Copies of this chain bind each other. A is one copy, B any other.
Amino acid sequence: MTPDIQKILDGDQLAGSRLISLLENRDRRGIEMLKAIYPRTGRAFRIGITGPAGTGKSTLVARMISHLRARGLRVGVVAVDPSSPFTGGALLGDRVRMQGHEADAGVFIRSMASRGQAGGVSRAAREAALVMEAMGYEVILIETVGVGQGEVAVAHCVHTTAVVSIPGMGDEVQAMKAGLLEIGDVFIVNKADREGAGELTQILESVVGMRTYAPGEWRPPVVQTMALRNQGIDRLVDFLFEHRRHLESTGSLADRMAANELHFFHQLVLDMATAILLRDSAELHRLRNDLCRHAIDPYAAAEELLKKRLPA
């Protein structure tokens, strides 16, 4: 075992950060290290916190950290920032707002830019979560913004998904359009002191109630919070752990984890195949030239490239 791997397993934040950076850059050494620590992963409780921009998710996450710490748990946070897909720069805002926990070794926060790739986010976020698990963090919060793409990808790598909304976002139906309703295990109405909070809570309750539940099936609760005033957070955390216990007691936890694992395997196959197929080659160069002067259509070009490299 290399000294770095031992440091990571000992919870060293600098070593953990370095590994996450290697993984973000798809550095071969990072992947080898991740394979080495893989047996030490899979034990944490992974929670996704998702919802539209402006719903106060970062503040909520900062409060959740405090409550989880008060319960004696070590908390890792992966904040996926959908800022600039072209420059790849993560905004500092989220980090700054969470700085209350900066000096606490029981808290490890990592921001990452989404870079315009739903698949890329979920891989990087999942890998960061794996590193944090190997470091001994017991709860991993994965915060994402989105409208039904990125956060669905993230739902594939968490155990429990909390969907955040606030009153007065405009057309409440838009929230439902986004497909967020279908991935929520717990619904949060944040900024619950705002006008319309009761109405939004009712709408969410009635949507949750629209389908029938088998006996013992999980029925997503709707929780009001006021993250800025630190209200409702304990109840929210209780619900999250209740959902976790529900998954464990019904055996769905193993199913979810197996489905997650397969999903990740498929994603890795595609990532690796991409790297091989689109690596510079004389043939790729010729096909690209033909495409640009319209000597071939993209379907025929793709078929030609694959015919030789990857026979069907």
Which of A's residues lie within 8 Å of B, judged by CB? 31, 34-35, 38-39, 42, 52-54, 81-87, 91, 93, 114, 116-119, 145-150, 152-153, 169-171, 173-179, 182-183, 258, 261-262, 264-266, 268-274, 276-278, 287-288, 291-292, 294, 297-303, 305-306, 309-310, 312
Contact = CB atoms under 8 A, between A and B. Distances in A.
B272 A302 contact: yes
A276 B306 contact: yes
Given A147-B147, A149-B150, A292-B258, A264 B298 contact: yes
A84 B54 CA distance: 21
A179 B86 contact: yes
Contacts of A86: 152, 179, 182-183
A276 B148 contact: no
Contact of A149 (B114, B269, B305): B114
A291 B302 CA distance: 31
A171 B264 CA distance: 34
Contacts of A52: 52-53, 147
Given A86-B182, A116-B148, A261-B298, 13 more contacts: A35-B297, A82-B148, A85-B148, A116-B153, A116-B179, A117-B118, A119-B119, A145-B177, A262-B288, A265-B291, A272-B302, A276-B312, A310-B310
Given A116-B149, A306-B276, A91 B177 contact: yes
A291 B150 CA distance: 24
B149 A117 contact: yes
Contact of A54 (B81, B171, B273, B306): B171
Nearest to A87: B182
B269 A270 contact: no
Most chain B CB atoms below 10 A, which of A31, A264, A297: A297
Contacts of A35: 297, 299-300
A153 B115 CA distance: 11
A310 B312 contact: no
Contacts of A84: 148, 177, 179, 182
A179 B305 CA distance: 33
6 contacts: A35-B297, A85-B149, A116-B118, A146-B149, A265-B302, A268-B298
